[in-house]
Chains A and B, each alone.
Chain A
C-alpha cells in the first residue's frame, strides 16, 4: 500500500521496463537446432539463385582480342614495334578481322581493356582537378597542386585538363566494318559513342568552361593541353556536345578504374541494322594504334560483349552463390548430425 505511485520517494528510480532492463527481449540461443533450418534454407536459396545467375551469365557472349601486338602474330605488332621506345609513338593503324558464324545477340557493347594499368594508384588517382573539370574558370586557370607535375606546362601555362589521369588519356580509336557476304563490301557498322559515360558525369560533373564569344577554343585560351596530348581539349571532337571536358571518351577515362585490369566502354552497337546485334558475317576492326602499353607490360584488348539484366558476363557470381549455397547445405548436414547426436542428451537433461 505504501508502494504506490503516490508514496514514492522523490529519488525512487523509475520502474519502467527500460530502466530496470526488462525490455522484452529475444534471446536466441545459437545451437544446432536453430542453425539447422537456417543453414538449409540459406543453402537452398543460394543454390537456386546461383543457378539462375549462372545460366543468365552463360547466355552472355563475349568476343575479345588482344591487339597489343606483343607476340608479333597480329598485324598490330608492326605498330607496336614502331612505337617502341618513341614518345609519342608515331601514328599507326592496324586491323583485327573476325567472323561471326551466327548472330551476336545484341545489344552489343564494345569495350577496350587495359591490363596492368594502375589507375587506382594513389598518386595517379588524386592527380586531377574536379573543379577544373566542372568548368570553373578560376580552376581552369589555377589547377590544384595535386595535378603536379601536370599542373603547369613548361611554358608556365595551366594545363587543361590537368593531372596525370587526363594526361594518360587512352587515345586508340576503333571502327567496325562488316562484310555481309564473303568478298562483299565492308560496311561500317555505326558505333554509338554517345551515352557511354555516366549520365551524371556527362551532365553534372564535367562541364566546359563558359564559352568566350561563343567559342570553346577561346574559353581555353591561355591553357596548355596535357603533354601527351596531340590536340587541345577543345578539339577532341568536332561535335560541340562531345568536345572539351564533356568529351565522352574523356569522361569515361576520368572515371578511374578500381583494379589494374579494367575495361572501359568504347561504344554501343544499337543503330540501324545492328540494333538486334551483330549479324553473322566477317568483320574487321580498324584500330588506330597510339597508346603505348608495352613499356610497362600492359595489354590492350578489344571486347565485344552482349549484356543481360545483371550487366556483362560474370560467371563468378553464379558460381559463388552455388558454392556458398552448397557450403550452407553441407554445414546444415553437419548440424543435422550434431543435432541428432546431442538431441538425445538434451532430452535426457530435460527429464
Chain B
C-alpha cells in the first residue's frame, strides 16, 4: 500500500519494483510504509490507490483475463479474425461483386445473406466461447484467500484478483495457491510444506517445499509486519522447474532462493496446516499461466486436405468461368452484328465488345458458380465437430463416478483426427498405472512369503468393485480368453463386463469414502493400507516380538534369536523406519511446537551430536558442552526432549559408545522397561488412527505393510522414530542420520541407534541392482557364509520373479556399525557437510562410504497397480496398428517392469536397450542398432554387443526366447541417451530405429524431452500423434464422420454447379441461371445442409463393439482410406456424370416445348436435391430416425420454401420472376415423372459400383459390418438389443444374457442375487424370454467348446467386447493429462468440470483430454 523505503527508481509503485534495465525483479513487502509517509492513515489510503495504479501500470496483478473481446471490440475484432479465413474473404468479395450492376447475378442484398449468416454463426460461437472464458475467469478471480492486511494487522479474506505482488498470503491445507508465492513460514515444525502439482504436471505425489532459509528458524508465528527483506528474483518466465533469486535481509545478509522455496500457482497445499508466503509473481506472470499461453491452432489432417480440395474447386471454378467467358465472347461476336432481337446492347445503346462481354461474363460466372465453393462447408464441419465433441463429452463410458466428472473435450478441431492416430505417447505413472503402490509380497532371509491372502484380498477389491457395480459375476463363462496366467489378470478379463465405465481397481466407492474422510493424506486407499499379512511370516514376527520382549533386559537381546528371526525383525524395523514417512493423527496435526531441523541430516555437528546425547540438554537453552553448541536449534531441541515423555533422565553410559575421546553422555534409547507401564498408560488415547504421509506412495506402502505385521510406526520426530510392537511395546530409535534417496545411488539409508542392542545400525533400502552389489562379501568357507550366499541367490531369484511380475522391487539391507566405524564415518561426514563447496558431491561420497558391507535382510515387491485393463488396451491398440511410446520419468528398471506388466514389452520379444553416456557413443549405438534391426530378418539371433566402457547394448531377454519372435523389437532408451538421440544429427537415425520398433519406452525423460519426442515424430514422420490421454473411444463415430460431410457437402455442390455449367451451352454462355437465385443461394445453406450434418455426426461405419474386437479396423482410418485424394477425383467424376444426367434428362424432357426458364429450372433443383439426398443415403452407413427425419425435412422444407416463395410476391425478386412456378409444376405430371427418374438414373452407376464393391471386393470395414450384422442374426434377440445398444439401463438385457450362461455352468444360486439392474432390467421386453432357450443353447454349445472357432462375433465376443469398450474408456479416462502434444505443461486440457481454466484449478483433476486440445484462448 505504501512505497517501500528504498523505492528510488520509481516513485509510485510500491508493491513490487521491477528494474526495467535489469534481468531481475525486486519484490518488497507491501506492508512497509513508504519513506516519509506523513500520516499513516492518509498514507495508507493514498498508497492503496497508488498501488493499484502502479500495478495496473506495469505489473500484472493476479487478475486472470483470458477473454479476447470486450463488448466494444467484439465486432471489429471478431470480424477481423474471421476474415483471416480466406473463404470468408472470398465470399464477401463475391457478395460485393453483386453490387456491380454490369456483372451482378443476384439481388445484391440476397447475395450477402449467406455470408452474413455464416459470419453471424461464427461470431456467435466466438462470443459464446469468450463468455464462457469470462465466466470461468470471473470464478477464478473471485476465489477467496487470506491476505495480510496492514490496517487490520491480520489476515483478511480477499479475492484472488486482489492479490498483488508483495502481499503476504496465508493458505491452509488443501487450498490452491493463487499466485507464485515465496514460502516464508510453514506450520510444519521443520519449515516444510507439501504440495501437489497435479494441476501443473499431472503428478500426484507430494513435493516438498521449504521455507526460505533464515525464516525457518523463527520460533514464533511469522509476522509479515516485520518482514523488511528485499527479494530479488528472475523476471517472470515459464520454466516450471527453475527459480533463482536471493533474499536480502536488512542486515545485508543474502540468502539464496531456489525452486524449493517457491509455491506455484495452481498447486495444492497438502499435509501442511498452513503456510505463509509473499507473492512474487501474480496473475499472468505466474509460471503456470506463462506456460499456458499461446495455444497452437492445430489443423486436422482432414481439414488440411479439405483445404486442398477447396483449392481444386476454386481452380475448377476459374476454369469453368474462363471457358464460359470465352464462349460468351464468341457468342457476342457472332450475334451482335446481326441485329439479333435478343441481343442487348449496353445501356447507352452502343454495342459491347466481345472481350468486355467476356470479362463481365467471367465475373458473373464466378458469382453464379460460387456454390461450387461450399460456403457452409467450414461451418458445417464446425457444427459437426461441436456435436461430436458433445457426444464425446456425453459418453457415459468416459464418465468417472468417483469424481463425478465427465470427459471434457476442449479441442474442436481434433475429433476427426482421433480416428487417424498412428502414434500414442503415454506417460506411465497415473496413466498406465494408478500410482497406487500396494505391497504384494516379500522375501526375508531367503524365504519367500507369497502373501497369497494378500493377493486374494487385492483380487477381492476388484471383485467387490465389480460386484458392487454389476452384481453379475460372469463366472467362468469367458475364461477362454484369460490365458494371461496371473491370477489377477485373469480376473481383470472376467470382471469388467458391465457397461459401467469407472472400474478402477480397489473398491472405488470405498476409496472415495476414505479419501473424503482423510483429506490430509494423499495416498491412502484402504486397498493400500489394509494389507493381509502372510500367516507364516506373521507368526515368525510375533515370535520375534515375544522372545525379544522376554530377552530385552539381557545383554544381547537379538542374539537370542535365530539368524532368520533376527533378520525378520530387522527387516520389519527397516521397513518401518527406513523412510521419511511422517506420522500424523487426524485430530492432532503437527504443530509448531516441535522442532525444525534439516531433515536430511539430523546430526549437524559433532557437538550437536554430543550435546544431544547429553542429559544436560534437558534444560532448555543449555549450551554447556561444546563452544559451538550455541546454535539456534539448541533450545528448540531441548524443548523437544521435554515433550518426549520417556526422556526423563535415562542416562546411558558414555563409555557404552566406546568413544573414549569425548565425554559423551547419551540418553540412548528411551524405552526402558519400567517406563513402559507409565508410557502405555499415557498412550491410552483410544486407538488413534495414525496416518502416514509420504513423499512417494511406495514408502507408505512399506510402512503399511509393516503395520500389518504389528510393527507400527507411531511417531517420527527429527531425531527419533518410535515403533510399536505388541509385546515389546514402543521402541524409540534415535535417528542419527537420514541419507535421502537419490537417483544415482538409488537407495536411501537411515542411521539409527538400536534401542535394544544399543548398536548403531544402518538400514538401507534401495533398488536391487545396487544393493545386491553392496553386500558384504561372504566367504564360501564357513557354513555361515555359504548360508548367506544361498540366501542371496534365493533372494535374487525371487527378485527376478517379482520383476517378471512387474512388481517394483526393493532390497532391504542392514549394516551394523561399530562405534569406531561410526565415529570415523561421522567425522568425515560432518566435514563433508560443512564443506562450503561441492558439499553435495562430498555427501554423496560419504553416503557411499557408509552403505557398504551390507547384510541382506530381504526384498519386497510392490505393485504399482496398473490401471484397469491396460494390458488389454495396449494389445488392442497395437492390433489397431498404433505405435505406442511410453515416455516416463521413471527409472529404467521400473519402467521396464511396468512395460512388461502392461504387455508393452513382451517376454518373448527382443528389447533393444539404448544407454549411452556421450554423443559419440550414442551415435555408434544407434548405428549398431540400426544395422542389427536391418539384419534381423536374416540373422535371428540377437546380436550381443558389448559396448565400450560407457555403453551397453544388449538384448534383455534370453537368447532362446528372442529368437522365437519374428516380431519387431522394442526399444528402451534412457533420458540421457534420448537427449543425444534427439540431437539434430542423430534424430533421423533414432526415428528410423524407433519406427522399426514395436514400442518405444523412454525412461527418465524430462518433460521437455517428452515434448521434443512428440514434436519430432509429428514433424518428421508426418504422423498423427496422440498424447495420452485422449478419448479415442468413439472411434467408430469419429472415423468417417467428417468424411461424410466432406464428400457429400462438396459433391452436391459440384453437381449443382455442373447443372449450371451445362446450361451455359444453351444460353450463349451468358452466365444466366435457370435456377432461381434463392435456390442457388440457399441450396446448401438450407436444403442440403441438415442431412449431411446428421450423417456427419451420427454416422458410424462399424459398431463400436466390432471395432473393439477387431482393432485392426482402425488402420483404415489411419490410412485415411475413406478419404483419399483419389476419392475426391472419383467423386468429381461422379458429380460430373450426375450433373450431366440431371441436366440432360430435364433438358430432353422439356426440349422443344413452351417451357419457360424457371419452370424448367425448378424441376432441376428438385432433381438435384433428391439426387443429393439419395446420394447421401447411399453413403450413409447408419440410418437413425434422425437421418430419416432430416432427409424428409429437407425435401419438405424445399417444397415449403418454394411454394411460399413462389406465391409471396409477383414482382419482388427482380432478376427472376418465379411467381407461381412451383404451384404450376405441381400440377404437371412431367415434373413428377422427371423427378422420379432422374435421380435414379444419376445414381445408378454409384449404386451399382457400391453394391458390386460390397460384394466383390469389400473393404475391411465393410466386412466387419457384415460380420457384425451376421452374428446377431443368429441370435435374433441379442442382436436387437445390441443394435439398440446396451445401455446400462438395458444392462438387464446383457445381464440376462450372462445369466443364462452362468446358470448352468457354475452358479446355480445366482439368480438370488438379482439386484443391481435398474428396474427396467427386470421388466425387459418379453422377446428376451422367448429367445432365451435358443440363446442358452447356442451359448452352451459355444462355451463347451474349449477352443471356440467362432467364425464371427458370437455372443461371447460380444460380451467381452463390451468389457473392452468400458475398459478402454476407463483407461483413457484415468489417464492423466499428458500435455505432450503441445509440449507445454498446463496448456490445456486437463479439465475439471468445476475448474474453468484448464489445468490450473481443481484439486484433483482426473480427466484428461485431447491430445492437443486447442485451448480456447
Binding site for B on A (CB under 8 A): 1-5, 9-17, 19-35, 38, 42, 46, 49, 53, 87, 111, 113, 117-127, 130-131, 133-134, 136, 144-146, 148-149, 151, 164, 167-168, 198, 200-201, 204-205, 228, 255-265, 291-293, 295-297, 309-312, 314, 316-317, 320-321, 324, 327-328, 331, 334-335, 338-339, 342, 349-351
Contacts and interface: CB of A to CB of B under 8 A. Distances in A.
Contacts of B1286: 22
Contacts of A121: 342-344, 1067-1068, 1070, 1072
A15 B1265 contact: no
Nearest to A13: B394
A122 B1216 CA distance: 10
Given A31-B1251, A120-B1074, A263-B1153, A205 B348 contact: no
Interface string B1062-1097: 010011101111100000000000000000000000
Given A28-B1183, A255-B1156, A335 B1252 contact: yes
B648 to A, nearest CB: 53
B1149 A31 contact: no
B404 A12 contact: yes
Nearest to A2: B509
Interface of B: 101, 105, 335, 338-349, 364, 391, 393-396, 399, 401, 404-406, 468-469, 471, 500, 509, 1034, 1037, 1063, 1066-1068, 1070-1074, 1098, 1100, 1145, 1147-1161, 1178, 1181-1186, 1210-1211, 1214-1215, 1217, 1219-1220, 1223-1224, 1228-1230, 1233-1234, 1237, 1240-1241, 1244, 1247-1248, 1250-1252, 1254-1256, 1258, 1262, 1265-1266, 1269-1270, 1283-1289, 1315-1316, 1318, 1351-1352, 1393
A351 B344 contact: no
B1184 A200 contact: no
Contacts of A38: 1247
B1255 A33 contact: yes
Given A120-B1067, A204-B1219, A338-B1255, 10 more contacts: A3-B500, A13-B394, A13-B396, A17-B1287, A25-B1184, A26-B1183, A122-B105, A124-B342, A149-B347, A205-B1210
Nearest to B1289: A15
Contact of B347 (A10, A15, A145, A198): A145
B342 A117 contact: yes
A104 to B, nearest CB: 19
11 contacts: A1-B1316, A13-B394, A13-B396, A21-B391, A25-B1283, A27-B1182, A29-B1254, A32-B1252, A149-B347, A257-B1157, A339-B1255
B399 A12 contact: yes
A9 B404 contact: yes
A130 B345 CA distance: 20
A113 B1152 CA distance: 8
B1010 to A, nearest CB: 30
Top 7 A-B residue pairs of the complex, sorted by shortest distance between their CB atoms: A22-B1285, A9-B404, A148-B347, A122-B1072, A35-B1251, A258-B1160, A31-B1254
B1186 A23 contact: yes
Contact of A296 (B341, B1145, B1183, B1289): B341
A242 B1068 CA distance: 33
B1283 A257 contact: no
Task: Indicate the member of A9, A30, A34, A53 with the most B CB atoms within 10 Å.
Answer: A30
Contacts of A33: 1255
B1285 A20 contact: yes
B1287 A35 contact: no
A31 B1148 CA distance: 33
Contacts of A9: 399, 401, 404-405
Contact of A29 (B1158, B1211, B1269): B1269
B1316 A118 contact: no
Given A19-B394, A130-B1210, A145-B101, A35 B1228 contact: no
A317 B1352 CA distance: 48
Contacts of A349: 1351
Contacts of B1034: 21
B1211 A131 contact: yes
Contacts of B1215: 125-126, 146
A283 to B, nearest CB: 22
Contacts of B1289: 15
Contact of A164 (B342, B1156, B1161): B342
Contact of B1071 (A122, A144, A309, A312): A122
B1251 A34 contact: yes
Contacts of A164: 342, 344
A74 to B, nearest CB: 21
Nearest to A294: B338
Contacts of B1288: 3, 15
Task: Indicate the member of A11, A198, A314, A327 with the most B CB atoms within 10 Å.
Answer: A11
B1037 A21 contact: yes
A15 B500 CA distance: 11
Contacts of B405: 9, 11
A124 B395 CA distance: 59
A21 B1100 contact: yes
Given A30-B1178, A121-B1067, A200-B1220, A311 B1183 contact: no
B391 A198 contact: no
A87 B1074 CA distance: 32
A17 B1230 contact: no
Contact of A23 (B344, B345, B1098, B1269): B1098
A87 B1247 CA distance: 57
A350 B1149 contact: no
Given A256-B1157, A320-B1145, A331-B1248, A311 B1152 contact: no
Contacts of A204: 1210, 1219-1220
B1261 to A, nearest CB: 11
A125 B1284 contact: no
Contact of B1251 (A32, A124, A200): A32
A350 B1266 CA distance: 11
A346 to B, nearest CB: 8
A258 B1150 contact: yes
A118 B1068 contact: yes
B1316 A3 contact: yes
Given A53-B1233, A130-B1214, A258 B1070 contact: no
B1398 to A, nearest CB: 16
B1091 to A, nearest CB: 15
A152 to B, nearest CB: 10
A296 B338 contact: yes
Contact of B1266 (A29, A309, A314): A29
Nearest to A146: B1214
Nearest to B1036: A21
A111 B694 CA distance: 101
Contacts of B1229: 309-311
A205 B1219 contact: yes
Task: Indicate the member of A4, A9, A334, A351 with the most B CB atoms within 10 Å.
Answer: A9
Contacts of A259: 1066, 1147, 1150-1151, 1155, 1160
Given A331-B1244, A338-B1255, A27 B1265 contact: yes
A255 B1153 CA distance: 13
A151 B1185 CA distance: 55
A134 B1210 contact: yes
B1067 A265 contact: no
Given A23-B1184, A30-B1178, A17 B364 contact: no
B341 A125 contact: no
Nearest to A328: B1244
Task: Indicate the member of B500, B1072, B1316 with the most A CB atoms within 10 Å.
Answer: B1072
Contacts of A261: 1151-1152
B399 to A, nearest CB: 5
B1185 A24 contact: yes
A312 to B, nearest CB: 6
Contacts of A16: 1287
Contact of B1270 (A25, A263, A296, A350): A350
A256 B1215 CA distance: 12
